[in-house]
């Protein structure tokens, strides 16, 4: 009787409730053009594909129980990795435009601020002072595209997404390994 009861509980394990050490998530592929995770959406959270460990049986959200062998992904596990969304704007381009054409506001047009661009254009970069301030802001990564995307910085190789105080802890080990290798 007790055994039947325990079996019933065990078979009711839902894949979405698996604990962190019961599945392994795949690292997302890296886009070589941007050196960021490929397919990062505007929300900057990338859903990972996760495979329950070999021998785990659990129920998918649809309802059917599956036996996993360690290589098959579960549909129901929800793990997200922070990522950086880019929208085809390059840091190097922004800096060069800012140096040479900043007094005409071209850097502001490139980054998607046409009104400020027009003001700079008609005031000679606010007598050069506004152009200089913009150049410093762009150089120090304080000024980016108006759509909230990140400027592409592709020449150092992959740019890791450092785990911030606000993000959830390190639930996937492969990320730790990755960080150990980089830092």
Ligand X SMILES: *[C@@H]1O[C@H](CO)[C@@H](O)[C@H](O)[C@H]1NC(C)=O
The residue ranges that bind ligand X (CB under 6 A) are 55, 57, 67, 69-72, 166, 168
* Nearest distance in Å: CB 71, ligand X: 4
Q: Which residue has the tokens 């009787």?
A: 1
In angstroms, the CA 84 to CA 39 distance is: 10
Which of 16, 112 has the CB closer to ligand X? 16
Which of 122, 170 has the CB closer to ligand X? Answer: 170
Distance, CA of 151 to CA of 88 (rounded, Å): 8
Quote the least distance from Cβ 31 to ligand X, whole Å.
Answer: 25
The two beta strands, 86-90 and 150-152, are: parallel
**Judged by CB, which is closer to ligand X: 69, or 170?**
69
10-40 in b/e form (b: 16+ CB < 10 A) is: eeebebeebeeebbbbeebeebeebbbbeeb
Least separation in angstroms between residue 149's CB and ligand X is: 22
Angle made by CA atoms 96, 101, 107, in degrees to the nearest 5: 70
Which is closer to ligand X, CB of 12 or CB of 124? 12
Instruction: Give least dist CB 168 to ligand X, A.
Output: 4
């Amino acid at each position: 009787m007790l055994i039947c009861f325990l079996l019933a509980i065990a078979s009711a394990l839902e894949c979405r409730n698996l604990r962190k050490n019961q599945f392994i998530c795949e690292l997302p592929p890296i886009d070589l053009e941007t050196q960021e995770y490929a397919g990062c959406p505007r929300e900057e959270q990338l859903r990972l594909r996760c495979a329950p460990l070999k021998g785990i049986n659990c129920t998918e959200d649809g309802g059917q129980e599956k036996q996993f062998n360690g290589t098959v992904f579960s549909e129901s596990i929800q793990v997200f990795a922070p990522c950086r969304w880019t929208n085809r704007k390059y840091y190097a381009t922004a800096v060069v435009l800012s140096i040479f054409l900043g007094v005409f506001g071209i850097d502001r047009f490139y980054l998607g601020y046409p009104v400020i661009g027009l003001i700079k254009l008609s005031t000679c970069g606010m007598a050069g002072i506004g152009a200089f301030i913009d150049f410093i802001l762009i150089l120090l990564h304080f000024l980016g595209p108006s759509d909230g995307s990140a400027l592409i910085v592709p020449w150092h190789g992959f740019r890791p997404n450092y785990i911030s105080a606000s993000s959830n802890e390190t639930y996937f080990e492969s990320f730790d390994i990755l960080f150990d290798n980089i830092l």
